[in-house]
Amino acid sequence: MTNDKITAAGGFGNITVDILSGHYTSAVNHIRSGIKILRDVYYDARCGIFRHPHLLPSTVSSLEIKSIRGIFIYLHMQASTLTRVEEVHVPAHRPLEVPETALNFPSDFPESFNSISEAANSLSALKRRYIIHYRNIMQAVSIGKAPEISEYLFQQIGLSFPRWCAAFSRFEESRRHLSAGEQIGIKIVRIHQLHMVMYYEYARANERAIHRNERSLFSWDDYNNQFAEIVTLTGSVVKIAQILSEGNPIPIQPFFCLDDGILAPLYEVATLCRDPVIRRRPVSILRSAPRQEGLFNSHLLAMAAEKAIAIEEAAAAAAGSSAGGEGAVLDYSCIIEAESKTQIPETARVITQSSQVPDSVRLVYAFPKFDLVGKKLSLTIGPSTKREVDIPWPALDFLVDAGR
């Protein structure tokens, strides 16, 4: 193994040890250091090697650099989500490539993918390219042209993504007999395919509303069937994985990986779906299957989801009984205090269907927040896009207080 590969493996090794040891502060710092290094890596076409201004040249292949960078970007996104701080700026375009300026989105997909990993990597890269490409172009257009260009770009994405779906569908049809591992892989790709479709509609509706100075009519309630399908797929993934683990002489607990899996989609079902039955199924799955996907931990997300659901449904009940009705501004401090002291039993639920949770109390954001400086952990909720509330979670401060 070359020194380059030892260095890369060592970087991932440090992050893995930090995460599995519960040293999240150290893990985030290692991730940020890796992103800083990769940000300045460039390809020297004259010598056919990758260079860095302050490090020795690297002989790793373009494919390896691309893979390493993809993992670090994913981990960096997790770190930014958990800390609410993007300390390291990731350029809008990849340092190893020329920024895209054309209005067309990628459509050069194969007739059929050759493997599950090819399909998964293609979908992950495609999602990033859509976001980066859209952002690059919208930053360059005039305010007057923005509505027209935005609509055109979403139309292009709408034409591009079905081609990826067709290639994946043909691959699925070609694989008649799948191993347990392959079944897991295909189900995870399907989960992210569903997630991509929903977020395309969400982003398109919101961008259109912004440019027209209107209120977005998008509702997550329209996607309850998709949420339910994601939960079913993830439940199947966990069940197959548990069967495989039981067959090992030494069962592996928890399951660990450094790339995107099922935790983020499951958590989003719990916090974005308002159907009281569907949104609670992910919590059960998160609790039943110990998993660590990068910085995301299944048990932590299960506890955060339970809190978010309880707060939102209590707010819905308060809004329904208040004199001001749906439009009233709620006192979340009272709701949060009540939630922290009592646990509402399953039999005492007020909410029986998603329509009973009015838009005025739906949280636009709910996620654990790591304060690496203050060594504290909280649950940050967003009652609106312009307002956030940090709920202290002292029982879990040890996750960011532990160090190496």
Using one digit for the tens of pLDDT, what is the confidence trace for 65-98?
A: 778 888 888 899 999 999 988 655 554 334 334 3
d(CA 287, CA 301): 9
Please confirm whether the linkage preceding 110 is cis (ω < 30° from 0). Answer: no
8 Å CB contact between 319 and 328: yes
The pLDDT assigned to 94 comes to 43
Cβ within 8 Å of residue 119, ≥6 positions away:
113, 167, 168, 171, 189
Q: Of 217, 132, 116, which Cα lies nearest the Cα of 175?
A: 116
Which pTM does this prediction carry? Answer: 0.86
8 Å CB contact between 381 and 337: no
Q: In degrees rounded to 5, what are phi and psi of residue 377? A: -120, 140
8 Å CB contact between 75 and 261: no
Cβ within 8 Å of residue 97, ≥6 positions away:
none
d(CA 224, CA 107): 30
Full pLDDT tens readout for the chain, 404 residues: 444 444 554 567 788 888 878 889 999 999 998 888 888 888 888 888 888 888 777 777 777 777 888 888 889 999 999 998 865 555 433 433 433 445 566 667 899 999 999 999 899 888 888 888 888 889 888 999 999 999 999 998 998 899 999 999 999 999 888 999 999 999 999 999 999 999 999 999 999 999 999 999 999 999 999 999 999 999 999 999 988 887 676 666 788 888 889 999 999 999 999 999 999 999 999 999 899 999 999 999 999 999 999 999 988 888 766 544 454 456 666 677 666 665 544 433 578 999 999 998 899 999 999 999 999 999 999 887 778 889 999 999 998 876 55
d(CA 84, CA 387): 14
The pLDDT assigned to 340 comes to 65
Would you call 306 exposed, middle or buried from its count of C-beta atoms within 10 A (0-12, 13-18, 19+)? middle
The pLDDT assigned to 348 comes to 39
d(CA 95, CA 42): 6
Strands (E), 198-265: 255-257
pLDDT digits (tens, 9 = 90+) for 295-307: 999 999 999 999 9
d(CA 95, CA 204): 28
8 Å CB contact between 217 and 147: no
Q: In degrees rounded to 5, what are phi and psi of residue 233? A: -65, -45
d(CA 404, CA 28): 13
First-to-last alpha carbon distance for the chain, in angstroms, is 28
Which residues pair with residue 44 across a beta bridge? Answer: 49
* DSSP per position, 248-270: SSS--SSEEESS--SHHHHHHHH
Cβ within 8 Å of residue 248, ≥6 positions away:
none
Token pair, residue 144, equals: 């007057």
